[in-house]
Structure 1
């Protein structure tokens, strides 16, 4: 931990609620939405749950600027109090630390953080805190290939108890979508929703397990004024029913600013004001920095925080609010203990810690795996790139290679041509799956990051599901390619040899895919598309094609053992020319130097009958690369935090 005291994370919140009993009551429709009914249902106030009061003291956050560039402190010992049943806005100019503070309070950022966070006056236990909270980030991380209803149903299967009746789950989903104005779009795919609808769907997905605390990073970004109003009024309605909802907002309009109950203003990582929106103008008057008449108070306080009226104003406002320690401008100040009282409570946390309830416990690994596999197959069915295009590319490339090397496999004068074909097949099996994974997996990372952080499922369940879902597609694509190219190029019509050829092909595809998965897990698309081919060049160099293994210098021979293409090529040669294959036909030339397969094997320094050793080596590569990809994926999910 950097910069200050270590964060205290213990809890005494008694948190119990029954997801199946989500009731609804009448509420007014969002302003500006004339096509909605005059009366809608709203979520219950969760009477069985204790509202959550969040307090924080001396929060600091320091980030690294890069190698040999030092570090920068974003938050400077800020303090504050976020009360339940309130919609709270964290405001400030760009670079003020709004999103960083939200990351720290939600638990998304854990490195370089100091200070203490309290839940209902007691230190926070992160594991229990995550059960009652969710974090909706600025970009809408949704499954675009699934409809609104499918997204909700799969989220319900992941987040609600497996003992819950399907009808009850459907009722919960229907009520949530009706309240958020999404029920009429239940059959619309996520990619076809408008910006406001995507934002509401992001909220709807997290409401399935009825969290007590919701963090939203810039929920109005990219939305028009009407959609902004609808989203913020929705958040206000949810907050007033018993939740604690905290949003970051850059510069709201005057009408939108009034929707928020409390506002917390930051400037350069320091608190300038915390209190109700109604008291902001009196606070500025009291500080002798009055807001001009007919001026939007939100705009004015942002101008102050930006230093447009002088740095001395920022210093004065920081001292007036004591960097967030002053609670004078919050509602009902007599009911709020001081920050000093909160600090004195901390030693009791270890002795009086009460575990919260398990209303948001993760379902079993088996249930998570089955739901994620079902979701994966549904996405694969509709994904034109990962499925349809992939199958078509294998068919087209198979036909092209088959035509180019037609009948080369059984002709003694074309053995070297056939050797080139086998290496070309290896290149196809290596590059296509690897690059496809590198290009598509980073896009999945953002969704994985959100869902995993919000406790939808474990990383292990996700990783197993993507492996299982992709396997049938890989098998079908590889089988179609193998049948086409094997028969058209005139390879020996022997079932054993074809099966050996297919097994090596499939193993090469799976290993290359694992290699791409490892790169995609560790790097972004730009770096991955550069590093993937770069790392593949040594694999080709040490495969034994062009420069035989016999001719490799002794100090480079080790490279042949770490090149999976070496074992793929060796397996292909063994399948086609090994196992004591008889003399080849010699109909297209007067003399065929490689009419005897043994002569060819000797010239290329390939040891015959090594097929099962090659399969074993490729199996080891597959296991090692898949394990490395999982470790890198796990590291990537926590590295930015």
Structure 2
């Protein structure tokens, strides 16, 4: 029995030590960016008396360094209660006392409520408001619901910071611009960018399973597509198959690089909200870091996929065509990734898994519309099709392979309808399409989606902005409620 008790005691001490370590870590995380005001909800919960004393001593030392520490504590002991400079006691949403701890007993005496020596002043006041709820309004009106100190004498205008209540401190902080979103950071933008980029690369290196999944996904997909269209590149009888091959390459880059951020980025948003709220770094530095960190793997794996399918399908062995083909694939991947960040920022994983494929289906429909009509596409549809970057990507792939290409020979048949690749381009509504125009169109969409993703991220991080949008939307729908 003695051994069991000692073991249980050791386990309890171990649990308290772990809790206190977590408390210190949480406080340390709040201090990373040297904030002027720190809010702590029940920092002493789950700790023993010794750990509570250590915790409050730490917070007391922090407050003496020029920071404002705001804590919520239930029934603090007398030794802990005396460490506070300013106390707010709440009952049913109203402030029944606002002032220094030393003024609480005189405050109660002035109200003909004498605190027994066997009670702590806080416990005595809590017992009073619980037994006599009507006293809550009396105390709240004395303190002006927390806007005035509960003292026996009038409040003088020249008060020290310790005697001011939190409402006045917040007003001063707002006037100094410390509560503004444009707060200055301790380190420069580039320093933030380098640290964030290093952290992301470290996370990527540790998450080896994700790297393996991406590698084998690109490799297996490349072998599959290359095997399906094996050796069709220089066969005049297989010109339609080459066109289908371009569609497959386009669809691969769209789905792969759009759905990845749609499914993974919402998980990053939860961590980002906490760190950005604590002003550890600017949103611009974070967004630039995630943009740059995604480029190496995108280019490496994307180029691997394109090289495999290009040589497996026996496309023209011309360096210029090969470079244009690879460049278009990387551009489509970057464009799809930007659109994926927009959806992943604004939607949850569940909603994004619906919105993402729906957007792809719409863009693909615009991309292949009118193929087989020759030049019979309606003018208004030509204008609408310009809003699909998938169309630019598909036409770019076809242009890199077919434009200015000599007629192919019919090896197995006497007549080949598409032995001249320009005939296929004309029938598919791509006659006269220049590769330069297609790559410029994709680059423009890359810029639009990247800027849109940053704006969406800014919207998610700005509660003030989202509240303003909701207010105006409600005002338009139902003006009477506003």
Q: Which residue of structure 1 lines up, in the alignment, with residue 233 of structure 2?
A: 409
Please identify, of 452-461 and 309-318, the stretch whose mean Cα deviation from structure 2 is larger.
Answer: 309-318
* Cα distance in structure 2, aligned partners of 1:270 and 1:282: 21
Q: Which residue of structure 1 lines up, in the alignment, with residue 388 of structure 2?
A: 563
> Given the alignment of the two structures, is residue 390 of structure 1 paired with residue 217 of structure 2, yes or no?
no
Q: Which residue of structure 1 lines up, in the alignment, with residue 46 of structure 2?
A: 225
Aligned length: 435
Q: Which residue of structure 2 lines up, in the alignment, with residue 465 of structure 1?
A: 289
Change (3 A) 1:506 1:361: closer
- Per-residue CA deviations over 1:413-459 (Å, capped at 9, x if unaligned) read 33333322322221221122122112222332343334344443333
Deviation at 1:619, TM superposition (A): 1.1
SS in 2 for 1:264: strand
* Cα distance in structure 2, aligned partners of 1:384 and 1:287: 70
Q: Which residue of structure 2 lines up, in the alignment, with residue 521 of structure 1?
A: 345
- Normalised by the length of structure 1, the TM-score is 0.57
Change (3 A) 1:273 1:439: farther
SS in 2 for 1:225: coil
SS in 2 for 1:271: strand
Higher strand share: 1
Q: Is the 8 A contact 1:199 1:231 kept in 2?
A: no
> Given the alignment of the two structures, is residue 484 of structure 1 paired with residue 308 of structure 2, yes or no?
yes
Match of 1:373 among 193, 197, 213: 197
Listed as ranges, the matches of 1:433-448 within 5 Å are 433-448=257-272
Cα RMSD between the aligned structures?
4.7
- Per-residue CA deviations over 1:387-413 (Å, capped at 9, x if unaligned) read 443233222222222233333333333
Q: Which residue of structure 1 lines up, in the alignment, with residue 149 of structure 2?
A: 327
Change (3 A) 1:240 1:461: closer
- Per-residue CA deviations over 1:201-258 (Å, capped at 9, x if unaligned) read 34224435655542235657xxx82499858842542324514311345x67979986
* Cα distance in structure 1, aligned partners of 2:75 and 2:237: 77
Deviation at 1:590, TM superposition (A): 7.1
Listed as ranges, the matches of 1:226-265 within 5 Å are 226=47, 230=51, 233-241=54-62, 242=64, 243-248=67-72, 261=84, 263-265=87-89
* Cα distance in structure 2, aligned partners of 1:302 and 1:374: 55
Q: Which residue of structure 2 lines up, in the alignment, with residue 91 of structure 1?
A: none
Q: Is the 8 A contact 1:233 1:259 kept in 2?
A: no
Listed as ranges, the matches of 1:537-556 within 5 Å are 537-544=361-368, 547=371, 550-556=375-381
Q: Which residue of structure 1 lines up, in the alignment, with residue 7 of structure 2?
A: none
Q: Which residue of structure 2 lines up, in the alignment, with residue 617 of structure 1?
A: 441
- Normalised by the length of structure 2, the TM-score is 0.73
Higher helix share: 2
* Cα distance in structure 2, aligned partners of 1:395 and 1:373: 27
Q: Is the 8 A contact 2:370 2:429 kept in 1?
A: no
Q: Is the 8 A contact 2:366 2:391 kept in 1?
A: yes
* Cα distance in structure 1, aligned partners of 2:80 and 2:239: 77
> Given the alignment of the two structures, is residue 419 of structure 1 paired with residue 240 of structure 2, yes or no?
no
Deviation at 1:559, TM superposition (A): 1.7
Q: Which residue of structure 1 lines up, in the alignment, with residue 431 of structure 2?
A: 607
Q: Which residue of structure 1 lines up, in the alignment, with residue 4 of structure 2?
A: none
Q: Is the 8 A contact 2:338 2:450 kept in 1?
A: yes
Q: Which has the higher contact order (CA 8 A, sep 6+)?
A: 1
* Cα distance in structure 1, aligned partners of 2:348 and 2:79: 37
SS in 1 for 2:70: strand
Q: Is the 8 A contact 1:408 1:418 kept in 2?
A: yes
Q: Which residue of structure 1 lines up, in the alignment, with residue 137 of structure 2?
A: 315
Q: Is the 8 A contact 2:371 2:427 kept in 1?
A: no
Q: Which residue of structure 2 lines up, in the alignment, with residue 47 of structure 1?
A: none
* Cα distance in structure 2, aligned partners of 1:234 and 1:601: 74
Bigger radius of gyration, 1 or 2?
A: 2
Deviation at 1:629, TM superposition (A): 1.9
Long gaps (5+) in structure 2: 1-10, 466-482
Change (3 A) 1:484 1:453: same
Change (3 A) 1:300 1:405: farther
Long gaps (5+) in structure 1: 1-31, 37-180, 182-193
Deviation at 1:195, TM superposition (A): 7.5
- Per-residue CA deviations over 1:357-387 (Å, capped at 9, x if unaligned) read xx98532233222222222222222234764
* Cα distance in structure 2, aligned partners of 1:593 and 1:231: 86
Please identify, of 612-621 and 378-387, the stretch whose mean Cα deviation from structure 2 is larger.
Answer: 378-387
Q: Which residue of structure 1 lines up, in the alignment, with residue 329 of structure 2?
A: 505
Listed as ranges, the matches of 1:31-42 within 5 Å are none
SS in 2 for 1:410: coil
Change (3 A) 1:205 1:581: farther
